[in-house]
Amino acid sequence: MNILLPTDFSENADIATEYAFKLAEKSQGKVTILHAYDLPYSDRSMSTSLLEVMKENAESNMKDYEKELKSRYSTPFESLVRLGNPIRLITETSRLDSIDMVVMGTKGASGLEEVLIGSNAASVIQNTQKPVLVIPPVATYTDINKIIFATDLDPKVKEQPLQRLREFAQLNNSSIDLVYVQTEKAPADGSRKFYSSNLEGVNHEFTILKSGDIEKSISAEAEKEKANLITAIAKRYGFFEGLFHRSMTNKLAYHSRLPLLVLHEPK
């Protein structure tokens, strides 16, 4: 598994680094580290000399970062330092055939800050078809033994994201708890069989909860089951349509203590 790791060299990005390198190591893959630097919109008329200073600083920070990584990990990696909007560069790089997953840290947020940060993370998720593993600022690295799969058990879901989830679970020797928060009618038994068939070879179970608060129910189940990760599928016909919407995704990504793995349906 080849991982794209965007970084700003912050403490929280360092948490994402550990997840990225551990996953690449388990799968005998490599890590591509991306650092993007850009002028604030208000400073775009400044001279090219400022850009040269920013470039030198970015490249110097990356060299220091590479030395640290070589002392900590044996997993192969390459680094990229690019000028431009970070979100655009992350999404463009993630589309390369050589990239299998994006692993990125986030910052804690509230109020307007949450909306702005959330929109940036959502932009990456919405504009790539690759799985995105979002690491919250309060997370600490743990082996991924238990996964909470927040799902609406849609029988029309495509097989690809379920197969990716199965491969991810097998890589980490994880069990999966498929959590459906029931707000109206119960899912048909046929849909459970479809999900089970695509998760064959992985220890999994179904949990049906009745609640009007989806986020709270998922978080409570994750805590009860001592889960290490939450995952969900972003539907191609709408961003987390049905089970999730933008605000729900932001809440899970920025208020959960657990990493969030977002999978995608193919276009």
- Give the residue, 258 or 46, on which the prediction is more confident: 258
- Picking from 98, 97, 87, the residue whose alpha carbon sits closest to that of residue 126 is 87
Answer whether residue 141 is part of any domain.
no
Cβ atoms of 233 and 101 within 8 Å: the answer is no
DSSP reduced 3-state for 69: helix
Tell how far CA 208 is from the center of its chain.
25
Among the residue ranges 47-51, 65-69, 96-100, the one predicted with the least confidence is 47-51
**Are 116 and 154 contained in the same domain?**
no
CA distance 231 to 143: 15
The confidence score (pLDDT) of residue 255 equals 53
Q: What's the pTM value of the predicted model, to 2 decimals?
A: 0.87
Answer whether residue 30 is part of any domain.
yes
pLDDT tens digits, 227-266: 999 998 886 544 444 444 444 555 555 556 789 999 988 8
* Residue where one domain finishes, among candidates 135, 169, 203: 135
**Are 117 and 171 contained in the same domain?**
no
**Are 182 and 253 contained in the same domain?**
yes
Whether residue 188 is predicted with pLDDT greater than 70 in this model: the reply is no
- Specify the CATH number for the domain of residue 104: 3.40.50.620
**Are 95 and 154 contained in the same domain?**
no
pLDDT band at 43 (very low <50, low <70, confident <90, very high): low
pLDDT band at 120 (very low <50, low <70, confident <90, very high): low
**Are 159 and 249 contained in the same domain?**
yes
Number of domains forming the structure of the chain: 2
Whether residue 36 is predicted with pLDDT greater than 70 in this model: the reply is yes
Cβ atoms of 58 and 35 within 8 Å: the answer is yes
**Are 42 and 114 contained in the same domain?**
yes
* Residue where one domain finishes, among candidates 105, 135, 165: 135
Burial class (CB in 10 A: 0-12, 13-18, 19+), 126: middle
Residues 130-151, mean pLDDT to the nearest whole number: 90
**Are 11 and 120 contained in the same domain?**
yes
Domain hosting residue 46, numbered range: 3-135
**What is the sign of the dihedral through the CA atoms of 196, 122, 141 and 226?**
negative
CA distance 84 to 51: 11
Answer whether residue 140 is part of any domain.
no
**Are 160 and 253 contained in the same domain?**
yes
**Are 199 and 255 contained in the same domain?**
yes
